[in-house]
Amino acid sequence: MDNLPQENTIFLDYIKSDDPAEIDQGIRDTIKGVRLSILTMGLGLARIKSEKLFLKLDCRNITGYIDRLSKESKMDRSSIYNWLGIGEAYLKYRNELEMIGFSDKDGPTKLPYLERALAVGEKNEVFSNLKSMSQREFAEFAKSGNTGIPDNIPFLEIRGHTVYIKGQKAIIVNKNLDKKYANLLLATVRVVSRAMEKGGVIVAVHLRNSKEAHYLKSKVKSIKAVMHKRV
């Protein structure tokens, strides 16, 4: 395993060990929350399986090892199998994942869907989506090769201080911003989004006060009515 990426990228020390007991302990420490890398734990499990290290840990097969690990760590077996799938997927596509700089921060829980995504999508698009999509979106993409975003998702959605456009996080308004300015920004976003959704053109006009704004509104309505008649 000397050809694994250096520790300062995504891997912790135990994945490089040649001692099955040390790898086993590293996995257990990760489960307890002592270690932080799900991807590293998955790679540890993948090594236990691929190199048959479970035999040196007094287990007949990987199933026996996972059963024991689940019982002793009080961790659900399905979660451990999922981590194993993460590790196996990374090892299989390690070269491609290294090329795009994939790490724990990019969401290793997407990796079990990678092979299925490659079966329905173009390779470059798949690895690009792996980096940019959420786990839910990538899972949907892996099913059919589409963007993974439901057709009925609203064009604009504002959750607290976060603005989403077609399900994608677009703007985060600083929570410390004065409420007056925050509301003005969000109101502007709503207006702009309505225009974008309808394929319209946005024109910004700076006015000195609300009196000018009311006057302009009345004029704009009449001008628009004339323009629409001419089209």
Read off the pLDDT of residues 2-27 as tens digits, 9 standing for 90 and up: 454 443 334 457 777 888 888 888 88
| Residue 23 CB partners (closer than 8 Å, separation 6+) | 14, 15, 17, 44, 47, 48, 53
* Segment 177-224, tens digit of pLDDT: 888 888 888 888 888 888 877 777 777 788 888 888 788 888 877 887
d(CA 78, CA 172): 36
d(CA 57, CA 67): 13
Q: pTM for the whole thing?
A: 0.54
